[in-house]
Structure 1
Amino acid sequence: MSLAERALRAGVWALSLPPLGLSRAVGRGLGRMAMRLDRRHREIVLANLSASFPEKDAAWVEATARKVFEHIAQVATEIPRLVRLSPEEITAQARCHGLDNVHNAMAKGKGLILLTGHFGNWEWGNIAGSFSLGFGALVVARPIDWPPADRLVNSWRTKGSDSVVVPKNRSARVLLKGLKQNRMLGLLLDQNVDWYDGEWVDFFGRPACTNKGLALLARSTEAPVIAHYNWRADDGKFDVYFSPEIPLVKTGDKTMDIWQNTQNYTKVLEDIIRQKPEQWFWLHQRWKTKPFQPWPREKR
């Protein structure tokens, strides 16, 4: 282990030592400061919220944007604990709902695809969910550019379970093999992709280029798909949810099936986000990729 990696791990360990309540309070303060100082991301969040909730007034948008920054900063102050705490201690800070939905889906023997995104503290929820289930998932993620940081993040993503982090750029064959072995997969579907990787679907009333890989996997393997998400509750714990199975659309038209299932999965994510919009990652430029033709609902 290099000196830089030792220093990184020591620094993260030190950040995990203050009481959780104190860390969160510091996080909220840092979030408010970031909103004032980080003009670029402030404008992204405000624009995203304004366009996604046109029925809300400017005061609501401003207040929700502040909560978004506070939430993300709290996530950043909570994450160091994932290095130090045991899986039991991490899970003790969470309540899991819908575990039977997972077990029932896995009983079909076709594997399971978790439809997920950047809700609540997604890293904490993933560990608590896997430990509560008694088995982990093949988690698709883009490797972090600095290898020591990538190894550190992957160490907590696989803590207390048989989870495996699969690099995004070479995941297809591994995921297909995993489903054949009746494994559980974790796929994010709340990020922007380039036009050649996605389908144009409605997301908060606007065209969003969305990865079609999940729909392709589900259609070709008929593996069940359920949503996996979590929220930070008022008492400080995390409520981790596994939804009922999302119906698969499979007709004789593959092109339309891929589009329709991608749209359906995206609508599930939108409905989840609307529950607690302040706990989703609005800093991301979700609508960055633009269609070549005007969206029919847009005013010209």
Structure 2
Amino acid sequence: MRTILYETLAALGQHADFRHVQVMGAGLGRLIWALVPSRRRLATTAIMERLGLDPAQARAAARNSFLHNGRSFLEILLCRRIDWRFVRDRLIIDDPELFRETLDKLRGRPCVAATAHLGAWELISGLLHLITPQEHKQVIVKATHDQYLYSVIRRMRSQPTVRVVEHEQAVPKVLRNLKQNGLSGFLVDHNCRREEAVFLPFLGREAAVNIGPALLALRAKALVWPAFLVREPSDKFRLVFEAPLDVQSIPGDRHEKVEAIARFYTQAVERMVRRYPEQWFWMHRRWKTRPEGEENEAGGYDSSTEG
């Protein structure tokens, strides 16, 4: 029964146009804002502390972030509808000259694409299918607990040249993909378990940064490319990116190289959050996992390994 429900909702959603999905997503964000006060407080407090805004400013920014996040959740319905018409009519390239130079660098090289829960992140897989030169591409995601729902989501995220890979099974598949000069995309801004992390400054406080993408990039001698898709007025989107880092150019031992790569993509995310604060996923407990022995957000000591 659940499968039928999910498939029906997905079919209906995929026939909605971009404008309707944006309106419905904003409505979903308003609903979450109204019904989940714990996340509302979490986001508002984080914005006050990390961006230095007063309570009224922080609350307004947090509310807007819920509206953006609601749109992000529903934009999964649009993933398979990213086509060249979308590129022509809705996409703005932030720096066209740098973009052409970057695509030239990506040709014939393995690439780890690093993005964040910011803007229209669900639509990035569709853009990767269209605009990046690699023949083999994949995006690494965390599966939902509801397997019926996840099977529908997985299909909607997939593209003809982009495979969806579950986080728990990622390492051998990502290495194989990168060894074929493929591209592997990661969301690098979420909290993670302590054994997966290096602790680095993020928005003024140390955060657990997942070193998995850095380790894989180092092993494959890949380029690391920060790229983000943010919303603009009039239902347009802006592709914002930085020049890729060639991990072969990093000095030091293995630990120093991994930390340098993780710092590179973490700083890229921070710059984007400061540039587009209302489009980031503030309701997430980003600083939950703390260094060994440090008091956690709940007021006790973090002996947990959960992210």
TM range (shorter): 0.7 to 0.9
> Structure 1 residues 145 and 29 mapped into 2: Cα distance closer, same or farther (>3 Å)?
closer
Residue deviations 1:167-223 (CA, integer Å, cap 9, x gap) = 211211211111111101101210111111110000011110111112212223321
TM-score norm. by structure 1 comes to 0.86
Pairwise CA distance, 1:62: 1.0
**2:289 aligned partner:** 289
Equivalent residues in 2 for 1:15-54, closer than 5 Å: 15-54=13-52
Which residue number in structure 2 is paired with residue 175 of structure 1? 174
Give how far 1:26 is off.
4.0
Aligned Cα root-mean-square deviation (Å): 2.4
1:1-300 counterparts in 2 under 5 A? 3-54=1-52, 56-82=53-79, 85=81, 87-88=83-84, 90-91=86-87, 92-97=89-94, 99-107=99-107, 109-133=108-132, 137-159=137-159, 161-246=160-245, 248=247, 250-293=250-293
1:87 to 1:123, Cα distance in 2 relative to 1, 3 A = same
> Which amino acid is the alignment partner of residue 33 of structure 2?
M
Report the AA paired with residue 157 of structure 1: R
Contact 2:42 2:283 in 1 (8 A): yes
SS of equivalent residue, structure 1 residue 130: helix
Q: Deviations over 1:252-286 (max 9, x none)?
A: 42222222321222111100111111111111111
Change in Cα spacing, 1:131 to 1:245, as seen in structure 2 (3 Å) is: same
Q: CA deviation digits over 1:237-261, x for unaligned, max 9?
A: 1112342113546334222222232
Secondary structure of 2:215's counterpart equals helix
Structure 1 contact 125–238 (Cα < 8 Å) conserved: no
Contact conserved, 1:102 with 1:242, CA < 8 A, in 2?
no
| Whole-angstrom CA distance in 1 between matches of 2:76 and 2:240 | 19
Percent identical among aligned pairs is 24
Segments of 5+ residues of structure 2 without an aligned counterpart are: 296-307
SS of the counterpart of 2:243? strand
How big is each residue's C-alpha offset from its partner over 1:118-149, in whole Å with a ceiling of 9 and x where there is no partner? 12111123213422336562211122222332
Superposition deviation, residue 106 in structure 1? 2.4
Bigger shift: residues 166-175 or 181-190? 166-175
Q: Distance in 1 between matches of 2:283 and 2:61?
A: 12
Report the AA paired with residue 187 of structure 1: F
Q: Does the 8 Å contact 2:14/2:78 carry over to 1?
A: yes
- For normalisation by structure 2, the TM-score amounts to 0.84
Distance in structure 1 (CA, Å) of the matches to 2:30 and 2:2: 31
Query: 1:141 is aligned with what amino acid?
Result: V
The CA distance in 1 between the partners of 2:149 and 2:31, in whole Å, is 25
On the 8 A contact 1:68/1:281 being kept in 2, the answer is yes
The answer to whether the 8 A contact 1:139-1:187 is kept is yes
Please tell me whether the aligned partners of residues 124 and 229 of structure 2 are also in contact (alpha carbons under 8 angstroms): yes
**Alpha-carbon contact 1:192-1:285 (below 8 Å) kept:** yes
Q: Give the C-alpha shift of residue 41 in structure 1.
A: 0.7
The answer to whether the 8 A contact 2:78-2:123 is kept is: no
